[in-house]
Amino acid sequence: MKKIIDLRSDTVTKPTEAMRKAMYEAEVGDDVFGEDPTVLRLEMLAAERFGKEGALLVPTGTMGNQLALLTHTNRGEEIVVEAEAHIYFYEVGGIAALAGVQTRTIRGQRGVLDPENIRGAIRTRDIHFPRTSLICVENTHNRAGGAVVCLDEMEAIAQVAKEFGIPIHLDGARIFNAAIALGVGVKELTKDADTVMFSLSKGLGAPVGSMLVGHGEWIERARKWRKMLGGGMRQAGIIAAAGIVALEEMVDRLEEDHRLARELAVGLAEIKGIGLNLDSVQTNIVVMDIEDTGLSVSAFLARLKEEGVLAVAFGEYAVRMVTHKDVDGDDIEQALLAVKKVAGQG
């Protein structure tokens, strides 16, 4: 049976043996009562790692982002967000349906917001206007191909936010990828964000879960919103145990994912009919343009699947591939051969 090389996302990773063992042996209690020791340990570990006062385990990154909106904002207010940010593009309209706020979208440069554009988007005091209550940043930026927001850019955005007294929420689902790519500690990279959501179940390899970190009193308010949304998970230590392994053992290896993404990108760029800007590949996400192959995205993906490789559509002629811990150099080589064949070069 042909091996399937799954490059659709880093969410497809399987837990490590160490994670499975930790989950099996996890000491648990009722987390809604604040009595699960493994959850408490994970939350303390996450808060310390990011230099924040508190942390909250949530089932998904989407829930984490939506909790941030609910906790930071009031109905009828407005948030500033990049035009293709995950929180706006992929979270099923939760901004409107749950928090009841509207968006002021700004087109960024490869996902990075220009501080002056943020300044221009912040509402002045006027009876006709909603209050601007939050600035959202995404790092790395998924739809920008895993692009990184560097430390200087974060500091420039924070300067505007502080000038107007507006908090920053960082959708840092892949923030460890950004930190590894920049060679900067995650605490330093996120110091100007009031709150951060990060994923345990993407590149870090845990089977489920994300974390929300921030100031202690803010986290307690978010905890109550989590209960309202059905996120009180009772004996959640089984999940938290894998998250602890993810934070303690899986961060540094992200550099290998970046190396393989670069190897994949270089190989793709050499295939006739495939368009790819190598400068755009900063982390573990590779986006290629297939228009010159003469195939639709759906046809391209179907033929690629027949060759044992899975990827996802990312636009009319764009296909995304993501490297992760469950692919290796041999898989990348086979994936390149498959793309070459589908593009008519094999």
Q: Which two tokens stand for residue 93?
A: 């309209």
Q: What pLDDT is recorded for position 2?
A: 74
Examine the domain organization and report whether 88 and 236 are in the same domain: yes
Secondary element (H or E) of residue 335: helix 329-342
CB 140 within 8 A of CB 177: yes
240 & 290 share domain: no
Do both 225 and 308 map to the same domain? Answer: no
Q: What CATH number did the domain enclosing 185 receive?
A: 3.40.640.10
On whether both 258 and 192 belong to a single domain, the answer is no
For residues 59 and 114, membership in a common domain is answered with yes
Burial of 126 (0-12, 13-18, 19+ CB in 10 A): exposed
Task: Based on the fold, state whether residues 218 and 303 are members of the same structural domain.
Answer: no
Predicted confidence at residue 346, as pLDDT, reads 58
Give yes or no: residues 189 and 231 share one domain.
yes
Range of the domain at 66: 17-249
pLDDT given for residue 109 in this prediction: 95
249, 274, 296 - which closes a domain: 249
Q: Give the domain CATH number at 318.
A: 3.90.1150.10
Distance CA 314, CA 76 (A): 32
Q: Do 213 and 241 have their domain in common?
A: yes
266 and 123, same structural domain? no
* Number of domains making up the chain: 2
Number of H helices and E strands in the chain, helices first, is 14, 12
The residue out of 229, 249, 269 marking a domain boundary is: 249
Find out whether 7 and 321 touch, Cβ atoms under 8 Å: yes
Ordered mean pLDDT values, 10 residues apiece, the chain (346 residues): 91 98 98 97 98 98 98 98 97 97 97 97 96 98 97 98 98 98 98 98 98 97 97 97 98 98 98 95 98 96 97 96 98 98 83
Same domain, 161 and 64: yes
Question: Do 201 and 99 belong together in one domain?
Answer: yes
Residue 52 to residue 55: CA distance in whole angstroms: 8
331 and 291 within one domain? yes
pLDDT on residue 168: 98
pTM exceeding 0.85: yes
Domain boundary among 216, 249, 282: 249
